[in-house]
Amino acid sequence: MKAHKFVDSVSVHVRAGKGGDGSCSFRREACVEKGGPDGGDGGRGAHVIFQGDHDEDSLQRLYYSPLLFAENGVPGRGQKMYGRNGKDLYVKIPCGTAVYDRETGLLVADIVAHGQEEIIARGGKGGLGNVHWKTATHQAPVEFTPGEPGEEFHLNLELKLLADVGLVGFPNAGKSSLLGRISDAHPKVAAYPFTTINPVVGTVCYPDFSQLRVADIPGLIEGAHAGIGLGHEFLRHLERSRLLLFVIDMAGVDGREPWADYKALRNELSLHSARLAKHPALVVANKMDLPEAVANLKSFRRRIRVPVIKVSTVAGTGIEEVKTRLWQELRPVPRGMRVAVPPPAIESAPAGISAVQVDPADEVLTEDKLRNSGFLDLPVKKRKAR
Q: Are 60 and 150 in the same domain?
A: yes
Residues 6+ apart with CB under 8 A from 385: none
Q: Are 170 and 154 in the same domain?
A: no
Q: Are 79 and 152 in the same domain?
A: yes
Alpha-carbon separation of residue 88 from 19, 51, 124, 314 (angstroms): 13, 12, 12, 53
First to last CA, the chain: 97
- Closest C-alpha to 188, from 203, 205, 171, 204: 171
Domain encompassing residue 255:
165-330
- Closest C-alpha to 245, from 314, 312, 190, 163: 163
Q: Is residue 1 part of a domain?
A: no
Q: Is residue 178 part of a domain?
A: yes
**pLDDT for position 352:** 44
Q: Are 150 and 241 in the same domain?
A: no
**pLDDT for position 111:** 93
Q: Is residue 376 part of a domain?
A: no
Q: Is residue 291 part of a domain?
A: yes
Q: Is residue 341 part of a domain?
A: no
* Domain-terminating residue out of 130, 159, 188: 159
Q: Are 139 and 217 in the same domain?
A: no
Q: Beta strand pairing status for 243-249 and 165-168? A: parallel
- Which of the 8 DSSP states describes residue 110? E
Q: 169-186, pLDDT tens digit by residue?
A: 888 888 889 999 999 888
Q: Are 202 and 269 in the same domain?
A: yes
Q: Are 94 and 206 in the same domain?
A: no
* Domain-terminating residue out of 159, 180, 206: 159
Q: Which CATH number do you get for residue 310?
A: 3.40.50.300
**pLDDT for position 271:** 85
Q: Are 96 and 173 in the same domain?
A: no
Q: Cα–chain-centroid distance for residue 50?
A: 12
Q: Which CATH number do you get for residue 13?
A: 2.70.210.12
Q: Are 127 and 250 in the same domain?
A: no
Q: 13-37, pLDDT tens digit by residue?
A: 999 999 999 999 998 888 777 778 9
pLDDT (tens digit, 0 to 9) for every residue of the chain, 386 residues total?
344 567 888 999 999 999 999 999 998 888 777 778 999 999 999 999 999 998 888 899 999 999 999 999 999 999 889 999 999 999 999 999 999 999 999 999 999 999 999 999 999 999 999 999 999 889 889 999 999 999 999 999 999 888 899 999 888 888 889 999 999 888 877 766 667 777 888 899 998 889 999 988 887 777 666 666 555 677 888 888 899 999 999 998 888 899 999 998 998 888 888 888 888 999 999 999 998 998 899 999 999 889 999 999 988 899 999 999 999 999 888 866 655 544 444 444 444 434 444 454 445 556 666 566 555 555 556 666 65
Domain count, the chain: 2
Q: Is residue 364 part of a domain?
A: no
* Domain-terminating residue out of 285, 301, 330: 330
**pLDDT for position 126:** 95
**pLDDT for position 348:** 45
Q: Are 171 and 188 in the same domain?
A: yes
Q: Are 37 and 169 in the same domain?
A: no
**pLDDT for position 351:** 47
Q: Is residue 66 part of a domain?
A: yes
What is the C-alpha to C-alpha distance for residues 373 and 367, in angstroms, rounded to an integer? 10
Q: Is residue 189 part of a domain?
A: yes
- Closest C-alpha to 168, from 205, 213, 218: 218
Alpha-carbon separation of residue 307 from 21, 118, 284, 325 (angstroms): 69, 43, 9, 11
Q: Are 68 and 195 in the same domain?
A: no
